[in-house]
Structure 1
Amino acid sequence: MSNYNPYLNQISYKHSYDMASEAIPNSNSFACFTDEKCLYQHTDSVPYPVVISNVENNHITSFDKKVISLVATYGFMTSKQIGECLTLLGVEFSDNVLKSSFERLKKNNILRACHFGIDEEHCAKFYAYSLNKYGSEIAKELGIPHSFGPMQVALPPADIKRKLATNQLMIAYFKSGVHIDWIKYGQVINSKEEKNGIVRPSLAVCLNNDILFYETVRSGEYWEQYLKDKLERYRLLFDNWEGNSWKLDAGTLPNLIILGENEEHNKEISRIVAELGMEVYYTHDILNCGSNFYHSLYRLTDNFEPEYYCFEVKVAVA
């Protein structure tokens, strides 16, 4: 029971969201590019007793604590993702309230903010927020299971963007109104018969007894070899599925879905998939934005043309 996290439970995100009115971006913010760096905002150090005093005197508000809990849960989040989750949780707030919270939490060394670019003059407009040391301590007090280490600042952009793309996908499920039997975020599954058949799907979803394993792929350094190794482990797991550690139905193999950066990236990935003789579905980041989500899955034909599929179950959203 100590590992239960309400911010990973789809039941918590029960408030409606109008995906039809959501703007679809023209470009993908979570794609990687050459010579990309992760640039962190500098903040002056604040003594821990000051932070504790701010918490005890409610200068760190209950709203701030919800923001901390979300970031602790998902590792890295954009302000848009945080705002969407708060809306789905039924929290009332304004853009100014959220912006003030970010500034307060950064000032107290509770959150870090980073963006991506070649240098400070040529960087993305959006920021990705993650826990700072004091934020990790507060998350522990709030009972939110999470992983944190000072070396997070050394993560390559591809690792952070992989996390952001996965978060966007998970939040899309919560916003969509599609009925979910269950959803698992970054949990390990293995075969008891095959020691190398062990993977950690980026996201696992069950819809009407159909199991979907999403694997988020970014074009960082050595990404092709990393993907090939991961796909081989998926194949070993599926070949020995009867003894899977989640005790899922032995007769129902999961559908593997590659979440790439864009269609061209998925075409590159499909060549690796073909070499291994596997069959997968594809999606990419912008397909998980707004109403695109409802027809976000596709296969690639022999001519690399996408054939799209729609979710069978969809309910109206307000």
Structure 2
Amino acid sequence: MHPPQNGNLSEMPLQEFVLEGFEGGLQTQALLFALFLALYVVAVLGNLTMMVVITLDARLHSPMYFFLKNLSFLDLCYSSVIAPKALATFLSSKVITFAGCATQFFFFSMMGTTEAFLLAAMAYDRFVAICSPLHYPISMRPSVCARLVLGSYCGGCFNSILQTSFTFSLPFCSSNHIDHFFCDVIPLLQLTCANTAINKLVMFGLCGLIIVGTTLVVLTSYGYITVTILRMRSGGGRHKLFSTCGSHMTAVSLFYGTVFVMYAQPGAVASMEQGKVVSVFYTLVIPMLNPLIYSLRNKDVKDALRRLGRKHTAT
């Protein structure tokens, strides 16, 4: 039995939520299931492939690909936190326990925030490589890269702990039905009967600070990179660098654009249905696109894939 959907919720501890998902009949749900499954399978295969290729090919053991492997790992975990339960809601069970909802929210928030910091670290890596190539081996030595990745995870954990503790300490007494396909902060705040002013201030304040701060790092880094590339005399060198940095900027723009609309601009999304569509982009579409963007537009990765293919064929 589900808890009652009215004020009686306040009389008992909330044990579970119901994920409403998307509107529509059986045919719509079946189509959405097929779409989500396709996106998730491609995301898993693409990111696993990137991780394996970078690990096995010694020529890709450089700071840029170290960060890229970590990005693939994050995207794999990020989509896996959301997709399996979302797929289940299309088929049958829309119920998620209180603890399950809090756990999903924690890891979703942690992975998303960590990715924002990691993309900023990747932009800084490219800035040093292109604008200060002589200092690059020292500035981006393995210990520095490891600290940047560790710092990204620490920042993600800190934000997630705050967001989760602030959100799930609220009394959920108006309903237990979440108008979303996963446990996200905005629909959760709509279910509480307490004053959420402080929660919204913390959410928009922290998210705004993280998104704006990391975006500034990215824009500043690529601003200097663009100026440096334009000053180069070699047309071939300019083309290669623009191609590599272009793939980075494509991935960054997709991620920051959708996240900014949802979390850094209160009221930017007109309805919850629009919010769900935007959420699909940063939970499934972007993790699916990132390995394609970095592999199809990166000659080193394509060459590594060919070498691994030839070794596999030879054996």
Normalising by the smaller structure, the TM-score range is under 0.3
Relative to its length, the structure with more strand (as a share) is 1
TM-score (norm 2): 0.26
- Structure of greater Rg: 2
TM-score (norm 1): 0.25
